[in-house]
Structure 1
């Protein structure tokens, strides 16, 4: 019974790490898929999205998947705009 408990505890402790890794990868893929939208953004917003994308990729390369997911999520939120629609304001 102790082995089962130890296994359950170990699985519960590692689950957040897998979730963060998945979030990082999924969000980076969404950003890659949105490259056409990013190219139509106005200068300040485009630069901010590109900076968060760069920071996300650097964090992933450094093994910090939580920071990667955070930066990628911020970039995606900027793309969505305040109304939840894809932000294509070219101004």
Structure 2
């Protein structure tokens, strides 16, 4: 399984969007400063994740989310996804 995920810094409210095949390990790496971009910007909380069968599917969603460039639009998109899953 591959995951596209969005984490948010509780210190600065900054978002990070990524993809991985081991979500628990990846979150641990973000929160223990073993990622260049998120280092010393945490702690980080998971606010969204979506599972896929292939890495290419996860990467496609990651690319789409990174293209939003607008915080409010990203939050609105996350809310819509949560409503679909209810």
TM-score with structure 1 setting the length = 0.27
TM-score of the superposition, structure 2-length normalised?
0.29
Compare the two structures and name the one with the higher strand fraction.
Answer: 2
